[in-house]
Structure 1
């Protein structure tokens, strides 16, 4: 192929002038071989120059000319004016993207319009409250007043579907993130129109004020964290409106040049490919110095040299380069090998990297990816997602080129745009969903013929959505696999996987701290969930291809050898620096004495000197001052802090690092989105319940209509009409929610997503169980592993279920049992010292005893684990957080106690008024159906009866806490009573009321645990052979009598506060606390009631202890059945268990009546000896002095000293260590050896 043919095939015969053609002919006939192609090259350069000069000078040589179009004032480049904003913004480097950091921030453009027809576009980055439109220079804005709130400003808000101009009116459609909102202004006729994705929303305003001084600026007002990107004409309008001009003029001449150069370059690429494949008619390499390929490369250098400055313009990139790239990739399939289309694209990229300056190609690629992201984020109108598939295919082709892939990973996909955006699948808008989901169905909980026939069609639509989504997801997984290529590392360059993992780690760190310090850097939750699932699928495919080990878990060594940077994340055992010191011997044994961790050097050679989030925040705006600021703060240039070792990554280690990152990613973001999505199902349930209730009222009204008079019928017709309208509102709302739920079923709660979460749950659980086998090194496990384990379990059991039933998970029962075993073995593990982790464990265990299926899983655990769990629950309630473990014991018992079968206290069901909003999931008042465990009750019995010291210390601490909780509760009630009795109006703090309610709930929980112990292990109190039985019984009777007396007093503070019906004290009532107390008494007296003859037998032990208690009053017991003398001055409603027929059965009423009669009969046989005041114990003033402390000789009653010695060995009065306690007769009651002394407690 000779030079003339090459030139003609590239530039076309018609473009070559006669003079140039003659020069080419002469060179072919008269010039030596070495100069003929050189002459062709010179002719081609002349031709290129002459062709381009016809369009005039380029922008890069003369700068942007002034925009002299009529009706416009301002610079030629239109951007947001950062000098005129109100509130705080984060503005992008191009000053086209804004992110509000104030409650309501306003900013306007730097150009205004007073005549003609103009338009600009906004792509929404979020869908919250924003008012976008136009404003004049006269408008004054603040953080309360934005665009549309002043007389000369006009705005549209798609979040609230309103238009604003001082007043507001219904207008437009709801908008979504990714929507393109068009804003047009006709200053000839004074008309404003807004567009959503190219569709007109109708005329918004007409007759806007025109005339001298009235020039309108594009203006936007954004609520906190809302963000958008404006296009005033810097790129082609996505949806140009006929007759309207962009505010920034398009570079038409430069665009024509770029299109011509691209056309020539396309021809050149074809010839170059053919030449390299040997298809061209080469004259022979040896016959002339310049080969065909050399000539083509020289021509490419010339063409690209002219194209380079044009590609710096985002307008040229989008209007010219993007179509050119799409044409090169039209048949490109990166996963199928190097076909011609792929080679053509790679050749083009090779030429760009060879002939462009670094800053030129980097800027060009940044524009390309930014445009691709904008296109990808656009809301799809059809289920096939054509724009998204096209964008992903093009991006796949680009990252298939190694050098381009490296650059995008290092500088663009993480630093300039969020790579996670490209793996997000955005839901269809409302119209698109309605076209796919023709019929709406929802689960009403029972057969409903009106909607059940729609179920099959609805589920088919869900499957159709799932199929369409799967195609996009497959492309996204291919993209991630390409970005994690591990074969492109060289001796001087790291592999793509190494770069990706480093950048991904920084990405995780940003999201970890963003909610606390830098919300700007936080990735939206819907995007993070999609990103998590795609990365998880990518990991599994890469693991199967490169490692393929069946039993997968994170090696425990990873947590302490410094191979992964966990930044400042705490460990289960506390802070890493402390663990490195305290477990140094274990580390030396596992790592060796020369390891960096052991030697105290840097734990990670890749650890960055500059905090990556700080560096990202300071450099992401691409300003010249950014990197310098990093250097001033840290003294280290930012790029020097991001280094990778060259070569490929170790497959096993790199994938383990990715999996570790995914576990952190789930905890940081993905789980939050899964929980958030579940609120849609909860909302549907509420609407379904409301709809059923309304229909029931309709039926009741229709039945009443049959026996009504004519006057009543008119009222009934009106009522029915209103009820029908209410049903229509509920049905419409449910239909809308059902369409969104179809998307959730297909994209979030599908069986595939469920299996992915279950797989990760197994991996994390196995990791934790394996780490637990390493003794002390278990403390190095990062705390988020435990959080993720619990969150995954919760997601599978609560959020996905029942939409995706947990029974569908393979070996679900075994999985739950293993989780229960882990909780049982570790919720009191001394290696776990991190406070939040300890709370997480006990709360998870409490959650497991709340539902039958998880409780059964706990019951299937090995007996050793069950016994260890119960023994840990029965530890003394001192020096630890005991409320949660006590609540676990309550749940084991709930359903077996006296009148304890309710899921919500019966008195709450009788209350009329607003819905109870104040509830705490950790309190006994929470509405949870009872599911007692006879198995665990038997374990409690076995341990309590088999280990007397443990039982004694546990019950002593429980009684101490009960005394504290009830005393605090009564004290606060007295304060409330005193305040309410004042003549002036006094407000009680809500916080104080909540503390009061909490103390009441704690009292109930402690009483119910005592009821369980008294029921299943009564010998602890009744068996006189047990050393502490008498003391515990006396203390228990004392506390029960105190509670009974306080609650049953008709003139006391308890009765007074209950009658006030204070909103935050709804749970405080007679029923729950009296039922608990009566349950304990019945459990203690059960045997005596059956076996004792009240007239002939001696008074049994429990009855005697109760009757001898100085504070015991039979009237307090009679109160529970309403059998008491009521004060005529009081108008309180009489309380009685008989009033709660649905909650207290006849057998229980009879047992209470029997107990009262039994104690009444015995009380007549009890005689109380008179004791002088001098002989009374000075501690309790209830019993006579009967014990002397040695050596100090102070005295008290036996009960007080026995109680005191359970907590202290020092004299109650003088703090002298007690050596022994003697009775009045000189008998040794307590002999205290030195080894028995309790440790001194620090103040």
Structure 2
């Protein structure tokens, strides 16, 4: 029976789901486009919006015809009863089989695909077959237990199947009532926080980012006091914080991948923007690509903002590697944003027809950057510890003072009130102003000290040849090549070979007096 469903009905249900989702999306876009047409006064913009409205109307009519057919042919009452029974039976069967390794590894893949398909068909059925309360209380609990237990289960050999389970979590946590079911599920609260951090890799980072963003949404700079913040999960925020504190190695690996991924997405976004600016043409495919990459970058930045708020000790205490990487990333992103040759074209590439300016703008990426700095400033002020890393000194020590000051000036001059209406966090911008003033003073002081010591520096050949800013106070073992400890530490996060001779590194020896 399951095989027949998988071969015969699953594809039809997926098509029905696709048309229903597309119909809802198009109706929303059409409403927004009509509102923009009423508000616009420029002829060219109105003409373009009317063309988009015509396209949306044609697509909506096509979706309505398909959805009507699928409701009649697929979503009949007796078929929904059969799907519900099959879903509940398969979930319970898989939960029992998963307790025996020798049996679970031989479970056919279409069992897992079928249970996910059945569940989402019931969730999106129109009209609903099972009342929402009954579906959540009886049907959702066992499904949640299964997906959170097995989305990173190595016994499931198919990476596509694990992705399917992870994407199911990503979809469900977007809804407040389903998120509450995760919070009440023992398996979810015990396993999901650490499993999500461990699963953040080159393959699964997008759904993991979406899940983390949803769990932490509403707690960062620029979010309104009401609305989105009420639908975040305080329970999972606390669990994530505990997971990061109790397993420092796991959090360190996650943070390293987060830095690398955000740097990559911003680089891809910048390259795509410049390609369009060179020709001054905004192609539909390129615009979609830029919009998607920009959204991903904003989501990653929000996750990083959450880390600085909840785990500030990872940046302020111990070695300054994380703080230096963070400051370099902030400057890197700000430099890409403010160096755009044509700001109007830059903003145009972020918005699809029918989208409002306040929904898609540079503030989406600038807000988490401001939040990161403010979080670290607040944590520095609260911690009465003389051994903590100085965020002002770290920024000032970077060999691009003008770029840093220009970036923070851009943050201060940005139209925050126009991008985030009713935001109570805007009063914190005075802290950024004070921070910028301190940064200017610190940079000037370091410049004076550098000039005083210029004679000694010119005669000293012990400077790190990677950053040309610090003393070469550490060497690789066994090849004995030298560099500064900061550059070596960051290099070894991603590669265990010497960056001079490519020899395998087995250790690092510090030569300075402050070595532990």
- 2:146 is matched with 822
Deviation of 1:1150 (Å): 1.1
2:434 to 1157, 1167, 1190: 1157
- 1:70 is matched with none
- 2:247 is matched with 947
1:1021 to 290, 294, 315: 315
Match of 2:508, SS state, is strand
Q: Residues 625-640 of structure 1 correspond to what in structure 2 (within 5 A)?
A: none
Match of 2:222, SS state, is coil
Distance across 1 between alignment mates of 2:342 and 2:313 = 33
Match of 1:799, SS state, is coil
Change (3 A) 1:1228 1:957: same
Distance across 1 between alignment mates of 2:33 and 2:481 = 70
Q: Residues 488-567 of structure 1 correspond to what in structure 2 (within 5 A)?
A: none
- 2:267 is matched with 967
- 1:1072 is matched with 364
Deviation of 1:1055 (Å): 3.4
Distance across 2 between alignment mates of 1:669 and 1:929 = 42
- 1:1058 is matched with 346
Change (3 A) 1:991 1:681: closer
Deviations 1:9-47 (A, max 9, x none): xxxxxxxxxxxxxxxxxxxxxxxxxxxxxxxxxxxxxxx
Distance across 1 between alignment mates of 2:31 and 2:475 = 73
1:1210 to 494, 497, 514: 497
- 2:512 is matched with 1225
Match of 1:1211, SS state, is coil
Deviation of 1:1161 (Å): 3.4
CA contact (8 A) 1:877 1:961 kept: no
- 2:216 is matched with 893
CA contact (8 A) 2:182 2:188 kept: no
CA contact (8 A) 2:273 2:346 kept: no
Change (3 A) 1:930 1:1058: farther
- 2:155 is matched with 831
Deviation of 1:947 (Å): 0.9
Change (3 A) 1:930 1:775: farther
Change (3 A) 1:940 1:929: closer
CA contact (8 A) 1:821 1:865 kept: yes
Deviations 1:709-765 (A, max 9, x none): xxxxxxxxxxxxxxxxxxxxx9xx99xx89x96x98787545554333221110111
Deviation of 1:1217 (Å): 3.4
Mind listing any 5+ residue stretches in structure 2 that lack a counterpart?
Answer: 39-56
Deviates more, 1:776-785 or 1:1004-1013: 776-785
Deviations 1:581-627 (A, max 9, x none): xxxxxxxxxxxxxxxxxxxxxxxxxxxxxxxxxxxxxxxxxxxxxxx
Kindly indicate which of the two structures has a greater share of residues assigned to helix: 2
Q: What is the number of residues matched between the two proteins?
A: 474
Is 1:760–2:105 an aligned residue pair? no
- 1:1188 is matched with 475
Deviates more, 1:773-782 or 1:1158-1167: 1158-1167
CA contact (8 A) 1:849 1:891 kept: yes
Q: Residues 347-366 of structure 1 correspond to what in structure 2 (within 5 A)?
A: none
Change (3 A) 1:991 1:1179: farther
CA contact (8 A) 1:1137 1:1149 kept: yes
- 1:1139 is matched with 418
Match of 2:412, SS state, is coil
Change (3 A) 1:808 1:1003: closer
CA contact (8 A) 1:876 1:957 kept: no
- 2:48 is matched with none
Match of 2:231, SS state, is coil
Is 1:936–2:261 an aligned residue pair? no
Is 1:1045–2:335 an aligned residue pair? yes
Deviation of 1:1224 (Å): 4.4
1:1106 to 395, 401, 412: 395
CA contact (8 A) 1:751 1:804 kept: no
Is 1:665–2:4 an aligned residue pair? yes
Deviation of 1:959 (Å): 1.1
Q: Residues 35-50 of structure 1 correspond to what in structure 2 (within 5 A)?
A: none
Mind listing any 5+ residue stretches in structure 1 that lack a counterpart?
Answer: 1-660, 699-729, 905-927, 981-986, 1123-1134, 1230-1243
CA contact (8 A) 1:903 1:929 kept: yes
Change (3 A) 1:808 1:1068: closer
Deviation of 1:1081 (Å): 1.5
Is 1:807–2:96 an aligned residue pair? no
Q: Residues 141-156 of structure 1 correspond to what in structure 2 (within 5 A)?
A: none
Distance across 1 between alignment mates of 2:90 and 2:218 = 34
Change (3 A) 1:1158 1:835: closer
Deviations 1:448-476 (A, max 9, x none): xxxxxxxxxxxxxxxxxxxxxxxxxxxxx
Deviation of 1:1159 (Å): 3.9
- 1:795 is matched with 121
- 1:1009 is matched with 303
Change (3 A) 1:988 1:903: farther
Deviations 1:608-657 (A, max 9, x none): xxxxxxxxxxxxxxxxxxxxxxxxxxxxxxxxxxxxxxxxxxxxxxxxxx
Match of 1:1188, SS state, is strand
Distance across 1 between alignment mates of 2:297 and 2:32 = 38
Change (3 A) 1:682 1:833: closer
- 1:840 is matched with 164
Distance across 2 between alignment mates of 1:1019 and 1:1159 = 22
CA contact (8 A) 1:1190 1:1220 kept: yes
Deviations 1:150-202 (A, max 9, x none): xxxxxxxxxxxxxxxxxxxxxxxxxxxxxxxxxxxxxxxxxxxxxxxxxxxxx
Kindly indicate which of the two structures has a greater share of residues assigned to strand: 1
CA contact (8 A) 2:320 2:389 kept: no
Change (3 A) 1:1182 1:821: farther
Deviation of 1:933 (Å): 1.3
Match of 1:1221, SS state, is strand
Deviates more, 1:1098-1107 or 1:1208-1217: 1098-1107
Is 1:855–2:189 an aligned residue pair? no
Q: Residues 1115-1134 of structure 1 correspond to what in structure 2 (within 5 A)?
A: 1115-1122=406-413
Deviations 1:548-593 (A, max 9, x none): xxxxxxxxxxxxxxxxxxxxxxxxxxxxxxxxxxxxxxxxxxxxxx
Distance across 2 between alignment mates of 1:770 and 1:664 = 20
Match of 1:1121, SS state, is helix
Match of 2:174, SS state, is coil
Match of 1:1046, SS state, is helix
Match of 1:1217, SS state, is coil
Distance across 2 between alignment mates of 1:694 and 1:1068 = 18
Change (3 A) 1:867 1:1181: farther
Deviation of 1:944 (Å): 0.5
Distance across 2 between alignment mates of 1:689 and 1:1034 = 42
Calculate the TM-score normalised by the size of structure 2: 0.79
CA contact (8 A) 2:244 2:250 kept: yes
Larger RCO (alpha carbons 8 Å, 6+ apart): 2
Flag the structure with larger Rg. 1
Deviations 1:361-399 (A, max 9, x none): xxxxxxxxxxxxxxxxxxxxxxxxxxxxxxxxxxxxxxx
Distance across 1 between alignment mates of 2:419 and 2:119 = 38
Change (3 A) 1:1009 1:1098: closer
- 1:115 is matched with none
Match of 1:875, SS state, is helix
Calculate the TM-score normalised by the size of structure 1: 0.35
Deviations 1:392-419 (A, max 9, x none): xxxxxxxxxxxxxxxxxxxxxxxxxxxx
Distance across 1 between alignment mates of 2:217 and 2:483 = 39
CA contact (8 A) 1:1099 1:1162 kept: no
Change (3 A) 1:760 1:1076: same
CA contact (8 A) 2:392 2:435 kept: no
